[in-house]
Amino acid sequence: MNRSSKKKIIIWVVLFLIIDIAIIAIIYLKDDSAPFSNFGNLEGYIKGEFSASLKDQGLIIESESTNGNLSVLYAKGYGNVWLEKVIEQSLLPSGLKPEFDWSVKNGFNLKLTHPTDGTRTLKFRVDENIISGLICIIIDDFGYFWDERVEELMSFDTPITFAVIPGHEYSERIAKSARSNMKEVLLHLPMEAFDHKGGEDEYIIKYKMDKGEIESRVSKALASVPGASGINNHQGSLVTSDTETFQRFLAVIRPYNLYFIDSVTHSSSVAFRDAQIAGVPAGRRTVFLDDSEDEKTIDYRIEQLKDKARENGNAIGIGHINSETIVALKNRIPFLIEEGFVFVYPSQLVN
């Protein structure tokens, strides 16, 4: 091979190497992997796709954007967990990770940083002029039977949360059906009461129970109630009043990324407080709707629930599968909606 031929081969090898390097650079440095590749700049994205997504999910009441700094008013009552989740989902197309500052009064700040457009601090504040509030309805004790009452609650257009006791004939079927009907499902987990009378012996969390046994029972209960997004206690006055036992329970459920709703079956309950300390998203029952099955009493309880939602921004009402409760809810819900109250699931309220 002469010198000229060798020179040509070297040139072709170098050219191929340059082309390979260029292809690799395009693959690894292309705009698709960069934040805001489809949005042009940060201000345009904030005013456009990001704001539109938040409005679609009911977060924004009123907003104003100046030089990429968005000011948002939103309804009082939503929990921090839901607010962060909505914003994170809205930001997914951008590739950016939000930074939240909850130290401000009546709201929070959101920090967004763009690799070329800099940093913006977006202000989200509660609209104090909104007089209505958020209402959550949880119906306990599903699983024992399936009849027209269950079917009627399944057909509700308004968000109704199904709290299902594990291990019964209809537990799994009701949980799956509720999920297919776009309802939120809770594991209505049996816990020992001061006056415990037995029942659900395979699943019940008992006073002073060790962590290993709690873990076994929680795992079995969740398998019986598929698709549960949270847990609330069935009875449980003794367990929820004992910090030692309840902290062991919280340590078990934390890895499941479930929230906990304290049914407050006794005034000495530490469940909500301890859940917040342990970093488990939590909420607390505001009103029992049907401690009496008298229709007038249930109406009065719903009125109390409404007043608490207006006062605090949200309220959680717990009822049971009885005809009187269903009739009262069917009669009252349309009027509450007309008054500006919004019905939500527990996951939208927990902190």
Per-residue model confidence (pLDDT) at position 200? 93
- 202 has a pLDDT exceeding 70: yes
pLDDT band at residue 33 under the 50/70/90 scheme: very low
Per-residue model confidence (pLDDT) at position 32? 44
Domain ranges of the chain: 42-126, 134-348
Nearby residues of 303 by Cβ (< 8 Å), 6 or more positions away: none
What is the average pLDDT across 47-67? 88
What is the average pLDDT across 261-268? 97
Q: What is the pTM of this model?
A: 0.87
Per-residue model confidence (pLDDT) at position 11? 59
Tens of pLDDT, residue by residue over 153-200, are 999 999 999 999 999 999 999 999 999 999 999 999 999 999 988 889
Name the CATH superfamily for 134-348: Glycoside hydrolase/deacetylase (3.20.20.370)
What is the average pLDDT across 15-28? 56
- Computed over every residue of the chain, the mean pLDDT equals 90
Percent of the chain, pLDDT > 70?
Answer: 89
Per-residue model confidence (pLDDT) at position 9? 58
Query: Lowest mean pLDDT: which of 65-79, 205-219, 330-344?
Result: 65-79
- 31 has a pLDDT exceeding 50: no
Per-residue model confidence (pLDDT) at position 12? 56
Find out whether 349 and 136 touch, Cβ atoms under 8 Å. Answer: yes
Nearby residues of 158 by Cβ (< 8 Å), 6 or more positions away: 137, 329, 333, 337, 343
DSSP labels, 28-65: HHSGGGSTTTTTSSHHHHIIIIIHHHHHHTT--SEEEE
Tens of pLDDT, residue by residue over 269-294, are 999 999 999 999 999 999 999 999 89
What is d(CA 188, CA 230) in angstroms, rounded to the nearest whole number? Answer: 9
| Nearest Cα residue to 155 out of 130, 181, 180 | 181
Query: Lowest mean pLDDT: which of 91-95, 234-238, 306-310?
Result: 91-95
Tens of pLDDT, residue by residue over 100-140, are 999 999 999 999 988 888 888 999 999 988 889 999 999 99
